């Protein structure tokens, strides 16, 4: 991976991180007073959805921050399983990935084999 590709991915990750942080901070997870039981039930459901989204966004923030640290290292873009290069198109589509397509496929097939 060349330096311009690395810079492109780093810029994307920084923008994504800023967006996630802003969205997470603005998410309302409080349930305020309600006029009746129906409204209360609706607000509780909405709160559960917001909490689930908040949890997922927090995980994405963590992944993005970790990836931003890795971008600066020489081994960014190298598969953790087979040590081959991860294609730039794959990294562009999913910069937080640590596996090449082949290793990711093998891992998913193994997981499906355990489930089925």
Residues 1, 33 within the same domain? yes
Same domain (yes/no): 110, 54: no
- Stronger pLDDT, 13 or 27, i.e. the higher one: 13
Same domain (yes/no): 13, 42: yes
Number of domains in the chain: 2
Q: Are 9 and 62 in a shared domain?
A: yes
Helices H / strands E in the chain, number of each = 4, 0
Using CA atoms, how far apart are residues 19 and 36, in angstroms rounded to an integer? Answer: 35
- 90/71 same-domain check: no
At 55-103, the pLDDT tens digits run 999 999 999 999 999 998 878 999 999 999 999 999 999 999 999 999 9
pLDDT at residue 31, as a whole number: 65
- Same domain for 66 and 12: yes
Task: Kindly report the number of other CB atoms within 10 A of residue 13's CB atom.
Answer: 19
> What global pTM score does this model have?
0.75
- In terms of residue numbers, what domain contains 3? 1-76
2-16, pLDDT tens digit by residue?
889 999 999 999 999
User: Do 64 and 21 share a structural domain?
Assistant: yes
- What is the DSSP annotation of 29-95? ------SSHHHHHHHHHHHHHHHHHHHHHHHHHHHHHHHHHHHTSTTTTB-TTT-PBPPHHHHHH-T
For residues 6 and 77, give the distance between their C-alpha atoms in angstroms, rounded to a whole number: 9
């Amino acid at each position: 991976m060349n330096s311009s590709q690395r810079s492109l991915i780093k810029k994307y990750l920084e923008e994504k991180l800023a967006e996630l942080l802003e969205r997470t901070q603005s998410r309302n997870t409080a349930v305020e007073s309600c006029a009746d039981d129906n409204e209360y039930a609706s607000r509780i459901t909405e709160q559960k959805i917001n909490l689930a989204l908040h949890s997922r966004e927090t995980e994405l923030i963590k992944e993005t921050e970790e990836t931003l640290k890795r971008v600066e290292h020489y081994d960014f873009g190298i598969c953790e399983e087979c040590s081959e290069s991860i294609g730039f198109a794959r990294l562009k589509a999913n910069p937080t990935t640590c596996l090449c397509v082949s290793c990711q496929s093998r891992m998913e097939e193994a997981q499906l084999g355990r489930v089925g």
